[in-house]
Amino acid sequence: MLTKPQLKALKDCVAADDLLVDTADCWAYGYDNSRQQACPDAVVFARGAEQLQAVVQFCNHYRVPLIPRGLGTGTTGATVPAEGGLVVSYERMNRIISIVPDDRLVIVEPGVTNQALQTAVAEHGFFWPPDPTSAAYSTIGGNLAYNSAGPRAVKYGTPRENTLGLQAITGAGESIQTGVRTTKGVVGYDLTRLLIGSEGTLALFTQATLKLTPLSEGRRTLRAVYADMSSAAHAVAAIMAQPVIPRSLEFIDGMAIEMIRAYSEASLPEAAGAMLMIEVDGARDCLETAAQTLRRVAATAGCLEVTVARNEAEVKALWATRKALSPALRNVAPKKINEDIVVPVSRMPELIRGLRELSERYGVTIVNFGHAGNGNIHVNMLVDPDDEQQMAAAGPCLDEVFALVLRLDGSLSGEHGIGLVKRDFIAREIAPATLALMRRIKRQFDPNGILNPGKLFPPA
């Protein structure tokens, strides 16, 4: 709780309308999609760099934790004020400052939602490639701080590949500018890439310059069904090794197919053990050739059928099977444990085999789907919180899932980040010397450790 002198000092740097201190008001800013919650001592609505600099100075002076928050849709607890302090909400700092079509860039405040940005730049014939499913209710600041992405990342990349520069206030209270306004540049260290994915532990973003991409003239959708995951993974490798790069390449495994069959009408061959959804985009004249190339390349050994949609109705029908999965999962396990690990594409068959073994050994159903082209797999452990035996098995099983991923040269998170919930695992992926360097970098940006304490790294 803030003391009276602290509250007075805070009121000196924040307008009354931009400050919440009643516990009832503050609770709503203490959760995210990790389902963890803690009540902040106060909530400040960000308005601009000057105000934020004053707030950072206040937090340094009184050693008060400061937690930046977009719209709280993150899944790993990075916005949860576990140690109390101030939550800085960006919901009112959401202007699109300028769109510069000739330079293919847009300058925004961090609180703008991904969808609002896409709508604004579409009028100029552009899009910003990062496309988390939460686009309508997640902010650019959150997308940058978690390096969030979606299916399009396979062709167009993540925020790290689509951000030219940032303005930010460091934990020390310095106003900094990183990057360039050009699509090339190599002057100094790449602090833009460092800040992206830093989960609000190094600096508060105040402005972002984003690289835009021209909208395609159309897209074609294909669905390929395989006898098993190994055949599908070989197809993924083949697809990614030829020049027609799909705009999305999503997969679901055999267990997911079984689940869809049990809970909906799936028009899939009886022997289906894995499925790929493939989309290609580009100039209208090239689309048919591109679709036929992908149809041919996807038909590797073990392929049971490849279907190319000829019209919107057929596109919908092909996606219907994939879209049936989420409601099916919600039906079976409303409290599933969802991890978003990544492995090199060539190791996906070993991963799926290993996950099946773990599933059998621990008696936990594991359903896998995700962004196959990036090897980014959503591993869903379906556990029932009321089943003591399953809950006891879940922890050790998850531990072995992570060990398996690291043995396969993978990484613990492709897009959801570390936050609170995975911080105890970070040392399993990052070597001690590298981790120590990261902690030193954190101290350079934030010497008093006020920014998002307890996130990303386990306590020293």
Q: Give residues in contact with ligand FAD (CB under 6 A).
A: 32-33, 67-75, 78-79, 90, 110, 132-134, 138-139, 141-143, 145-146, 148-150, 199-200, 204-205, 415-416, 452
Q: Would you say 149 or 257 has its CB closer to ligand FAD?
A: 149
Q: How far apart are CA 388 and CA 89, in angstroms?
A: 38
State the residue for tokens 């962004």: 371
Q: Would you say 60 or 75 has its CB closer to ligand FAD?
A: 75
Question: Measured from the CB of residue 112, what is the shortest distance to ligand FAD in angstroms?
Answer: 10
Q: Would you say 92 or 439 has its CB closer to ligand FAD?
A: 92
Question: Measured from the CB of residue 91, what is the shortest distance to ligand FAD in angstroms?
Answer: 9
C-alpha angle with apex 225: 219 to 227, nearest 5 degrees? 160
Question: Measured from the CB of residue 452, what is the shortest distance to ligand FAD in angstroms?
Answer: 5
Question: Measured from the CB of residue 200, what is the shortest distance to ligand FAD in angstroms?
Answer: 3
Q: Would you say 203 or 308 has its CB closer to ligand FAD?
A: 203
Encoding tokens for residue 308?
């190319």
28, 170, 404, 406, 425 from 400: Cα distances, Å:
35, 37, 6, 10, 12
Q: Would you say 195 or 355 has its CB closer to ligand FAD?
A: 195
Residue 325, Cβ neighbours under 10 Å: how many?
Answer: 20
Q: Would you say 46 or 255 has its CB closer to ligand FAD?
A: 46
The three-state secondary structure class of 230 is helix
Q: Would you say 231 or 376 has its CB closer to ligand FAD?
A: 376
Question: Measured from the CB of residue 126, what is the shortest distance to ligand FAD in angstroms?
Answer: 20
Question: Measured from the CB of residue 111, what is the shortest distance to ligand FAD in angstroms?
Answer: 7
Question: Measured from the CB of residue 241, what is the shortest distance to ligand FAD in angstroms?
Answer: 25
Q: Where are the alpha helices (DSSP H) in 72-133?
A: 114-122
Q: Where are the alpha helices (DSSP H) in 312-425?
A: 312-323, 325-332, 348-362, 388-407
Question: Measured from the CB of residue 415, what is the shortest distance to ligand FAD in angstroms?
Answer: 3
CB 120 within 8 A of CB 101: no
Backbone angles phi, psi at 193, to 5 degrees: -65, -30
Which sign does the torsion angle of CA 212, 115, 134, 261 carry? negative
Q: Would you say 71 or 278 has its CB closer to ligand FAD?
A: 71
Contacts of 101 (CB under 8 A, 6+ apart): 124, 125, 126, 212
List the one residue out of 258, 260, 253 whose CA is nearest residue 328.
Answer: 260
Question: Measured from the CB of residue 154, what is the shortest distance to ligand FAD in angstroms?
Answer: 13
Q: Would you say 72 or 84 has its CB closer to ligand FAD?
A: 72
Q: How far apart are CA 456 and CA 357, in angstroms?
A: 30
Encoding tokens for residue 344?
């090199």
* Beta-bridge partner residues of 277: 223, 250
